[in-house]
Amino acid sequence: MLEMPTWMLEEYNTAARTVKARVDLDALEWLNLFEQGEGFRVRLVPNIRKEVVNTFSRLRSDRSKRYLIESNDLGFRSGPLPPSKQPGTFRVAVFGDSSSFGWGVNQDDSLSSLLPRLLEKRYPGRKFEAVNFAIPGDSSEYGRLIFEKFAAQIDADLVIIGFGANDAKKVGASHQKQVDRFRTGMRTVQIEKLLQRSSLIRVLSRLLRKEQNIEGAEKRATPAVRLNRYRENLKFMASRSIEYGAKNSLLLNLCTPGNYSKVARKIANNAGFLYFNGQSYLLSQ
């Protein structure tokens, strides 16, 4: 089982210290928004509609605001995904972290809600829609699991890949190792289902679980996803998006450290993908 979004509690504690305020446990209701994903780390509880407080904002004014979170039947902050894309519709798929998810803003102000409206205003007469698979706290390693499960099914014309901020965060155990153990666990379950009554299951399970328990000599403060793996994950998702029929991929950096942003920009430049650095744009305005 992959870790649940414990980063939220860490951010909440930091914010509470920053503003020197206590928040009732009732205000942490957003913890109940999430559940374990099916084949990936975490998702929203499917088909919820709930207003929550951004308890870990560093701004006092934000800590009393409530904002709306809605999820579809897949457990993502997006509207229902039509069984098939309507002719003439340009579909955008978003994979990313809290910035792409729209943490701290209302449903209508999230990236996937704003984008179709802005595009339709700019290109009158055309139909746009966006589906959002972003999850707060996800790195490219966790997000790749979601991408692998859904990307081939969504018939997107443009795929936005917005990771970096959580990849660079210092953690005790790298996300790659967590995901590797998670994948191994999934293989174990599949084998057990096939060989439930076979004596081989005892041997195979013992070997696989032994592999799961091997811990590397890893430093306490290591990036959640190292640069080389970050590069590999972005290349994989952007390239596969094209294979699945997308016209292009957009690598999006929001709140991403410079060394990770440089990697994403270089990938985009070399492969002909689109690239946008949100923090650089805002600083230039």
Could you give the percent of the chain with pLDDT greater than 90?
Answer: 51
pLDDT in tens, 265-284: 999 999 999 999 988 887 78
Give the pLDDT confidence score for residue 17 in this predicted structure. Answer: 52
User: Cα separation of 26 and 39, whole Å?
Assistant: 30
Higher-pLDDT residue of 181 and 247 is 247
pTM as predicted: 0.81
pLDDT in tens, 37-63: 888 988 999 999 998 877 666 667 776
Contact 177, 267 (CB under 8 A): no
Strands (E), 71-221: 89-96, 127-132, 158-162, 170-171
**CATH level 3 topology of 7-170+222-284:** Rossmann fold (3.40.50)
**Rounded average pLDDT over 227-246:** 97
Could you give the percent of the chain with pLDDT greater than 70?
Answer: 75
pLDDT in tens, 73-89: 999 999 888 778 889 99
Give the pLDDT confidence score for residue 193 in this predicted structure. Answer: 52
Higher-pLDDT residue of 159 and 19 is 159
What value, to the nearest 5°, has the Cα angle with vertex 86 and ends 80 and 89? 95
User: Cα separation of 247 and 92, whole Å?
Assistant: 10
Confidence of residue 133 (pLDDT cuts 50, 70, 90): very high
For the chain, the structural domain boundaries read 7-170+222-284, 175-212
What value, to the nearest 5°, has the Cα angle with vertex 113 and ends 110 and 118? 110
Give the pLDDT confidence score for residue 218 in this predicted structure. Answer: 44
Strands (E), 20-174: 34-36, 42-44, 49-53, 66-70, 89-96, 127-132, 158-162, 170-171
Give the range with max mean pLDDT: 63-72, 181-190, 201-210: 63-72
For residue 256, pLDDT over 50 is answered with yes
For residue 190, pLDDT over 60 is answered with no
